[in-house]
């Protein structure tokens, strides 16, 4: 499995369907940050990580499928560490989406629906649903607030940065001048607002800005410098402003969903999920409308 060096001890890959799974090599083993959604890639990443030493910890930055499904293939490899917000929502997407089935979408069907960015060989590694649900490899260390781990010559500051999800975590490794933000940053691709809290998300960006780092490893897209925080902030603010303006203009929810659209402004959907572009635009506009319209109605009473 090919992974890029961010620094001498930091490895990531930004070219898989799913999140950007990563690991850090220390003098006393390896710390994994998020796991591949694709089974063969999860197995290959574990093998590569263990070639540098035993895996001490596995940290998930959030609870969504693409960051956490691969935990199943890391059983017995280190201690899994999650924020309580991740633990309580493990693998939950939306009420209308079955997370196990959603994860399986990355495996091509016999009709050849998949692409070379998917994982046809993953069929042989796919777990039975009951087997998976019995033990998906959830955390044995669950924390609230922030947590600091010390592994060999490295420090791992797990910072609670809610916004994209309630249990969102950024992992700051000061010795490498790197922070892994998870989906607080979508680099060069469409941002999934999902059920997010935009105000908290903006505050999370400022918390990350305060860190003394050279590199940001985002949840999706290429590794970036701190200046990208301004790009992510502007996209969140544009989404929120556009929907707030729609409400002020008296548009209905359906009108807002139909007319507020950033598909041509904020880049493509991340790798392997171009077919989700319409869904993202609809979801982002609709969830924002519900929150902002609901807040306005509550203020009137």
Same domain, 83 and 223: yes
User: Do 173 and 278 have their domain in common?
Assistant: no
pLDDT average, residue stretch 238-247: 97
Of 180, 213, 234, which one is at a domain's C-terminal end? 234
From 61, 288, 284, select the one nearest 191 (Cα to Cα): 284
169 and 27 in one domain? yes
Instruction: Give 81-91 pLDDT, tens digit per residue.
Output: 999 999 999 98
Q: Please, where are the H alpha helices in the chain?
A: 39-50, 65-68, 84-88, 99-104, 129-134, 198-209, 228-248, 253-259, 277-300
pLDDT at 273 (0 to 100)? 84
Using 50, 70 and 90 to split pLDDT, how confident is the model at 111? very low
Locate 155 and state its tokens: 């420090």
Residue 67 sits in a domain of what CATH number? Answer: 3.60.15.10
| pLDDT given at position 115 | 52
Per the structure, how many domains does the chain have? 2
List Cα–Cα distances, 63 to 54, 70, 217, 272, 274, in angstroms.
Answer: 24, 12, 18, 20, 22
Higher pLDDT, 300 or 102: 102
* 51 shares its domain with 102: yes
Domain that residue 180 falls in: 4-234
110/132 same-domain check: yes
Specify whether 190 is located in the same domain as 258: no
- Pick the closest to residue 201 from 216, 183, 219 (CA basis): 183
Distance CA 104, CA 50 (A): 26
Q: Which of 208, 234, 260 is the last residue of a domain?
A: 234
Tokens of 207: 């918390």
Strand arrangement, sheet containing 4-7: 4-7, 10-12, 22-26, 29-33, 55-59, 79-83, 141-143
For the segment 88-99, the average pLDDT, to the nearest whole number, is 82
17/158 same-domain check: yes
What three-state secondary structure class fits 11?
strand
Question: Would you put residue 252 in left (φ > 0), alpha (ψ -120 to 50) or beta?
Answer: beta
CA distance 154 to 246: 48
User: Is residue 111 domain-shared with residue 129, that is, in the same domain?
Assistant: yes
- Among 202, 234, 266, the domain-final residue is 234
Q: Are residues 246 and 140 in the same domain?
A: no
Residue 193 and residue 160 share a domain: yes
User: Based on the domain organization, do 169 and 288 belong to the same domain?
Assistant: no
155 and 262 inside one domain: no
What global pTM score does this model have?
A: 0.94
- Rounded to 5 degrees, φ, ψ at 31 are -115, 125
């Amino acid at each position: 499995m090919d992974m890029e060096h961010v620094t001498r001890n930091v490895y990531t890959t930004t070219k898989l369907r799913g999140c950007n799974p990563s690991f850090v090599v220390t003098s006393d083993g390896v710390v994994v940050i998020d796991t591949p959604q694709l089974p063969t890639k999860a197995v290959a990443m574990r093998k590569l990580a263990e070639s540098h030493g035993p895996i001490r910890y596995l940290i998930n930055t959030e609870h969504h499928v693409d960051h956490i499904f691969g935990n199943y293939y890391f059983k017995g490899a280190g201690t899994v560490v999650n924020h309580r917000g991740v633990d309580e929502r493990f693998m939950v997407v939306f009420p209308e989406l079955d997370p196990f089935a959603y994860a399986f979408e990355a495996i091509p069907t016999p009709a050849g629906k998949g692409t070379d960015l998917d994982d046809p060989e993953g069929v042989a590694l796919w777990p039975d649903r009951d087997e998976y649900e019995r033990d998906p490899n959830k955390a044995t260390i669950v924390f609230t607030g922030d947590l600091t781990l010390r592994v060999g010559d490295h420090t791992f500051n797990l910072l609670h940065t809610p916004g994209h999800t309630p249990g969102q975590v950024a992992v700051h490794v000061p010795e490498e001048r790197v922070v892994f933000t998870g989906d607080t940053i979508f680099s060069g691709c469409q941002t999934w607002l999902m059920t997010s809290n935009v105000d908290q998300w903006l505050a999370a960006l400022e918390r990350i800005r305060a860190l003394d780092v050279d590199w940001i490893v985002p949840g999706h897209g290429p590794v970036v410098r701190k200046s990208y925080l301004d790009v992510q902030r502007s996209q969140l603010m544009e989404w929120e402003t556009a929907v707030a303006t729609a409400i002020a203009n008296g548009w209905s929810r359906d009108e807002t969903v139909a007319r507020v659209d950033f598909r041509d402004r904020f880049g493509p959907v991340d790798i392997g999920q171009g077919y989700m572009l319409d869904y993202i635009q609809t979801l982002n506009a609709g969830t924002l409308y519900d929150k902002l319209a609901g807040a306005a109605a509550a203020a009137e009473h």
